[in-house]
Structure 1
Amino acid sequence: MAKRQLHKLSAREAETIIEPGRHSDGGGLYLAIETGAHARRQWIFLYRARGTGKRREIGLGAAKGKGRDGISLADARLKAADTRKRLAEGKDPAAERRAEIVAATTFGEFADAFLVSIKAGFKGKNTLADWTRDLKVRCKPIRGIELANITVNDVLGILSPIWMTINRTARETRSRIERVLDAAEARGVGPGPRHVENLEAAVAEVEAVETPSQGCALQRRPRHRAGAASQPRSGGYGGQPRR
């Protein structure tokens, strides 16, 4: 198979080209220029995923241009060479990039985005305010924690102080936390498929704590989840201890 030509662009061309489109430097490296509402001048790398043959695109950073700061052609070539090296090692750069984003997503970031996505369906006039209070105020201790590192104890630390005094509010808070974590799990950025079961196991351990007015503290709520295991693991939501 003939080798693909590399270094098609000159440094001057890379900084002065203004025509929209993808301008190839060879070896998968392109200078992408777009105008209009989605204007951009960016270095990208294109390749086909091993096994599926599907085209993948990853951004390498904003490109340097006339009067515009950014990555030079030389630096873009270094990034492209590193990407080709990872491909030769059997890695998928796009999948690695997604994994890095997932690992860095915090509860607060995801919860805020999730609330925006569902608020159109709220009917009660106070529903948005209640959700906002729970996710921004009551959940403040976990907002900065990465989703993958949230543990059952983190959630119990929010619920336990209010469970005996404002039980209904505590239950609503718990439900909203679970909805956020369920949505994160469905999008592949959550702490793992067993976070709800692990929480319920921890809740069951404190059910024996009773008060004359409230009865059992932290009552376990029955849930029926397809494929859920009967014996939850201990530790973090995904069965792993928090690092």
Structure 2
Amino acid sequence: MSTPTTHPVQLDLPGQTHVADGPHDQAGMYVMHHAFRRDLARFEAAVRQTPLGDRATWKALAGRWAAFTEVLHHHHRVEDESIWPLVLGHARERGDAESVETLEAMEAEHDTIDPALAACTEGFASMVDHPCADHRNALDVRITDLRAGLLDHLRHEETGALPLIQVLLSAEEFDSCEKAAGKAYPLRRIPFILPWAMAGLPEEVVTRFLGGAAPQLKHMLRLLRPRFERGEAQAFRHA
């Protein structure tokens, strides 16, 4: 008599559109998606509510935006280089046209997000150099469009692509993807990324996410959180 396979309990975070059940724990992906959704909502509110004359806050927002875009670029790069090609290869071997179409769409959607990010970067720079209602209105349109596009992409990824990881990747292949993701971010950004990824999550989720981490990482989070939160309070003080 065979023993039933027990899958890990997947995270189901606010804003998440689907939980992909299966043998691989995709907590890392869901935590990143939660952070992207959280940030875009805050940026949208900050752009609309920050007074034009508050130059210090606009400068803080521009710096915070730069950190957000850098993390998102690295996240998409590891997907395009280390995850989707591997899953796509298996889908093609199976002759699964629908899955191939879904996976090819992931990279195509990344290509539409990049220019939208660049447009917002220009918009924040304009608000630092010459804050005015016209520049704010233009940035508002850009950030709103970007948020809508990225939310659609995350929904598509969660409902279409992440379930394919559960079906098509072996344990060894999934582990290689996780290692590639762990190496994707510059070391200089770790003091930002660690508290950034954990921000807004229930403490039980933080504890679970860091459960297998070295004690030094948990200690680092405790040390980094106050500085990160001070930066958040400055950038999003009006949001």
Indicate whether the TM-score tops 0.5: no
Bigger fraction of residues in strand: 1
Name the one with the larger helix percent.
2
Greater gyration radius: 1
**TM-score (norm: length of structure 2):** 0.26
Tell which has more relative contact order, 1 or 2 (C-alpha 8 A, sep 6+).
2
TM-score, normalized by length of structure 1? 0.26
